[in-house]
Amino acid sequence: MRVLRFDDLKQYSDVLRSRRGDAITVRFVEPRDAEELQDYFRSLSTNSRYNRFLGAMSELPKGLLDRFTHVGPDQGFTVIATMMLDGFETIVGEARYAFHADSGSFEFGLSIDDRWHGHGIGAALLKNLECRAAAFGAERLFGDTLRSNAAMISLARKSGFVFGNNGQDWKLVHFEKPIATAAQDIPCASWRIAAGLGAMLASPIGN
């Protein structure tokens, strides 16, 4: 299996739109983004960090930050959603995902800057993740979140996910959605990764 380098990935990005039409660039994170990504997580509210990582955390421990900013055959992929604010590229959201080729499933977790809640960024990013899942040939898209995470549950419900029990932790709710879109029919640029590099297997990701 080919080991992916950031030089392979940084060319792939997608431009989404917020509810009011703001341009949002979704691109793979790079090692140079580590400090800004850490600042992003620190800036989230305590509740948002708790929901994202399913527990109390004030910042990413070094090992987890390294995992978020590096990619390899044993890891998932991290993308950041950025906007140009006051002339600077600013992270307003992030997502971590992995394709499990053995089960044909695509696992994800995401967060949005509290200051940008209500602008449709979460819905746009989730739609982009579904597009990426189709690119990998996934048959289903799934995630798990705390039962108390009303924002994520609402977003998933509006996006057509079906809910069920986690099976391992009663505090979590599991949601998933079947994917029927063929890779050649998807609008996101990321299909080229699957087409050019073949199916990539990543290990389960942490929330």
Tell me which H or E stretch contains 41. Answer: helix 34-43
What is the bridge-based pairing of β-strands 172-178 and 162-165? antiparallel
d(C-alpha 100, C-alpha 191), whole Å: 16
Q: Is the pLDDT of residue 190 over 80?
A: no
pLDDT at residue 30 tops 70: yes
Task: Check residue 204 and give its pLDDT.
Answer: 36
pLDDT at position 37 over 70: yes
- For the segment 188-196, the average pLDDT, to the nearest whole number, is 60
Do 92 and 116 form a contact (C-beta atoms < 8 A)?
A: yes
**% of the chain residues with pLDDT over 90:** 61
pLDDT mean over 92-116: 93
pLDDT digits (tens, 9 = 90+) for 38-64: 999 999 999 999 999 999 999 999 999
Cα of 67 vs its chain's centroid, Å: 14
pLDDT score at 2:
43
Under DSSP, the state recorded for 153 is H
Buried b (16+ CB within 10 A) or exposed e, 14-34: bebebeeebebbbbbbbeebb
3-state helix/strand/coil string of 84-105: EECCEEEEEEEEEEEEECCCCE
Strand 105-112 with 140-146, pairing: parallel
Q: Is the pLDDT of residue 206 over 60?
A: no
Share of the chain above pLDDT 70, in %: 81
Going by C-alpha positions, the residue among 193, 204, 207 that lies closest to residue 5 is 193
Locate the domains of the chain by residue range: 6-197
Please state which CATH number belongs to domain 6-197: 3.40.630.30
